[in-house]
Structure 1
Amino acid sequence: MRAEGFSKRPVNARGRFRLSRSEYDEIVAPRARTSRPALSQLLLLTAGLVVLTLISVISIYLVNKARDDTRWVLRSMEVENEISLAQLQIQRAESSQRSFLLTQRPEFRAAFEDASGRIPLSFERLRVLTKENPYQQQRLQQMVPLTSQRIEQLRQSIDLALTNRLDQAVESARREAGQDATRQIRDLGNEMRTEANRLLAARTASADASQSRSALITSVGSGLVVLFAGLSIYLVRRSNRERDLANARLRDINLNLESTIEKRTSDLREANDEIQRFAYIVSHDLRSPLVNIMGFTSELEELRGDIFRRIAELSRPDSLPPPGVNDPASAAEPVLDGPDEQLSQDFTEALGFIKSSIAKMDRLIGAILSLTREGRREFHPVSIAMRDLIEGIVSTVAHQAAEADAQIRVEPLPDIVTDRIAIEQIFSNLIDNALKYLKPDVPGDIAISGRRKLGFAIFEITDNGRGIDPKDHQRIFDLFRRAGPQDRPGQGIGLAHVRALVRRLGGTISVSSKLGAGTTFTVTLPSTWMVTNRDEQS
């Protein structure tokens, strides 16, 4: 059949087409190839950000180190300057002392006092500048008392000259000039200057190295940034080329896509029509043997009376006269004894089973015919006031609700544009189910509510009935499948029919329920539905 050949096409469980491998390569693969350069650009951007961060951190470190090295270089230069200044002040004090002894002029004495007053200040600055250098501190500690001693000797000579003991002062100055203290002061100053020069050279070299490393890092970082920028430009251009090629392929594919979809839709619609015709023919042909079986069962039931009446006559004792033709007892149920009576009961029971099975089969065939006829019906969207429609359905089941001691509450509902007959069938089935499966001896409460969301209308039918086991939530929507105790009449086609209608209308239906806790059916439908290929395919 046509339907069998079409079923081999790539169609998923909802009747929608799956892409073949070639179609996937033509449509999806180019997009995947286009996304790979984008990933490369992202990785490159990440690498560039990491490199820039490292360069920034290293540059900050090297700049701080160069600043520290420069500060230490300046410190070494200050130490050398202070040592020179201290030695200069000592020499100035000695020169001023000799000049005063020779000339007795007061300006030389004032120069001596000025120089001797500046020496302690220089030593104090040296103590602060060399506090991190134990070698310099040791030399300074030796130099300070020797210098103080020498200055005191020079002052004593000046005091002798002031008291008219010039010869004694000159002799004292000549004798003190050759002492070791002066030479020691000079040697200690030279040692401190040598150490200061050594530190100055080392710190200058360290500062130069830090600046060189900083320049190198900056150069390397700039080169890497330029490299990353070049690679990014290359990847962007390649990505643009591949995207243009992919778009060109997609344009070529889209040119044939509509015709391909239309062809497949036509094939699917033809297959569905043939399946419906097949179901209709099969159901119709099943009725013929079923009618024959029903007729022969009726004849067999009539023959049953004659058969067991004959058995009763053959079992009657010879002493009893046969009943007359007009005897009322002859038309009544024959009186049987023992095994014959049991056989009559079994025969009657078998006929009852056959008749009930025939009736059930007749109802199922009728349901199949009803579904096929409904599947061929065309839908026509119209504007529907949902609250008025639901209240109309509720009024038709008011007697049934009163017998079940149930109330049905209809809350404000959103209006929609869809097929009226389909909507009536959907909600009639759901409300009928809610009434049918209420708890016994418990007042029923059924509520119908609705709301809008993102272009859809969502309706909920909630009851406080017996509920549905979660494992049966999907089963109840299958054809001829029922859940829970089968103590209510039905063929198991109501919810299957509801789901088929909801899907044809472009919506979905779901159930939320627990045993003993009531049930909520949720129906989601487009607020404005138009005839689509999906409906045509159905």
Structure 2
Amino acid sequence: MEILKVGTGIGVTPDLRRRRALWQILLFAAGLLVLTVISAGSVYLVNKARDDNASVIHTIEVENQVHALLLEIRRAESSASGFLLTRVPEIWTDHQAAVAAIVPHLDRLAELTRDNPVQAENVNKLRPAIEARRDQFAREMNFIQQGDFASATVLVREAATGNTTGAIRDAADAMLREEQRLFALRSANANNSQTLAASLTGVGSGLVVVLALLSIWLVRRSAAIRDEAEARLRDANLNLEATVDERTADLREANNEIQRFAYIVSHDLRSPLVNIMGFTSELEELGSDIFRRIGSLTHVPADGPSLATNEPAGIALEGPDKQLSQDFSEALGFIKSSIGKMDRLISAILNLTREGRREFEPVRIDTGELIEAIVTTVAHQAAEAEAVIRVGELPDIVSDRLALEQIFSNLIDNAIKYLKTGVPGEIVLRGRTKLGYAIFEISDNGRGIDPKDHQRIFDLFRRAGLQDKPGQGIGLAHVRALVRRLGGTMSVSSELNVGSTFTITLPIKWNVSKRNAEQ
């Protein structure tokens, strides 16, 4: 009785309810405080990280500006030397443009570094050297304009080895070293700011999650929720036994139906199948003897002695007799292949009844080879229907071989069966892979299926369209059941008098353990 009181909420005192309400208020206030701190800290750190990143970009811009200034100076030097060697006017124009661009680049560099005393001092050292170098360029231009190319050449050589070029290089190197130092420092600051922002967000989010979990835990401990859960549990316990009995009866009835169906299969199908197998073997032996005798007859001269009964074997057939022998052997091969297929199907059904349900066994399957074997089995029916079966590239999968054979055999057989009369049939099988699944398509140019019957054809013992072909309406239902057990899906796209395309999607690597457990 004491347990019942606690379970129904009678033992929850007003004082306990007040404490729970107080804890909930405190948790809500703590969560609000955490969110406020996280928001303020995140805003500060994000702004700091943005400033640090701007400093890093500024450092890169200064380095680029130094390199751009040096590039213009080198361009002016090389163009001056090139003009003295080639006398090409375009090179002289390029020299003048380079000299004109030096001062703007230097002014831009001074503007970028005016907030840094060290770099401002380096710019002050760099400016006189650049002015001296520009003066040398001006004297070179004067000599060139006067036609004194020899003096200009001497001046170019002296400038290249003089102190001015070295002073420019030393000042530029000092600026680059300072910017590299600043780049390392500012990059570290930016990384630290981003790390702190991420850490603050992570810690704050964790605290929020903890507080939320605590709140949920307190709420779920309330008496009303407990009472509701216990009521549902009692109802479930009351109905559990009846539900189990009902499901057990359904399963028992289904199992009895399977047993009766297996009895029919084993007695009404296997017995004539055994007879067919026996007579086929006898026919094969008789065929060998018949064609041996035909071969002997073709080698007897018109006026020769009559054929002896002990004529030696091994006489080769020729012409129509040879073709007839090959057709006979091929026909027997089709019969034996079909008998083997039917025997496997009957054996699978019998195993299903003995074991309750056959457990699929995943093996690696060469799908192309499997379908080629099926196509060979139905080659005679395809030839009679004037149909061509084309098999494209098919992906290999890990699945149950017998189930796949039943699936594709049924679909190919249906495609041949329901071709349009008087129209050459074309059946195409192709496949592809996508996101861990193999997608197979079986298309034909047959009668097609009315869109309103697309779902009907998958129902057991139900058929659609003109019923002029033998069938019981279990093929497609069985195929879809097999596809589902293999963890896949099946659909159809079709229109009347246009043709049909059945699409089967199966996992490339099927795991049997989980699926069989679910079945």
TM score, norm. by length of structure 1? 0.39
Structure of greater relative contact order (alpha carbons < 8 Å, 6+ residues apart) = 1
Q: Which structure would you say has the larger Rg?
A: 1
TM score, norm. by length of structure 2? 0.41
